[in-house]
Amino acid sequence: QLQLVESGGGLVQPGGSLRLSCAASGFTLDYYGIGWFRQAPGKEREGVSCISSGGGSTNYADSVKGRFTISRDNTKNTVYLQMNSLKPEDTAVYYCAAVINSRWYPSLYPYDYDSWGQGTQVTVSS
């Protein structure tokens, strides 16, 4: 059973930063592409960013380009999402998800990922 656990969410003022972590247990992240998604109340889940198993390929939603950076440390079995210049519209529950690398491509569609974490709340407010 693949298990992903997100952490690092919280309350931050506009313009602030947070770093989210996605830790894997029960499996090795080395062979999986990872995506970050978010869902705000009353809205559909949307893709934020994704990264290939080796970290050489990434993709970002237009709304976060230049502000968010995805990275991974396979020695720590963890993927990160560095979020800078946060805006109130970034408020959402953030999820990470995994798919085996043989089926991964730089997709930001939730349906392309198999295993999901339970999410971490990010609130951007003054």
φ/ψ of 103, rounded to 5, equals: -110, 5
What average pLDDT does the segment 78-105 reach? 96
Number of Cβ within 10 Å of residue 107's Cβ equals 16
Q: Is residue 117 within 8 Å of 80, Cβ to Cβ? A: no
pLDDT interval class at 26 (50, 70, 90):
confident
* pLDDT value, residue 75: 92
Q: So what's the pLDDT on residue 119?
A: 98
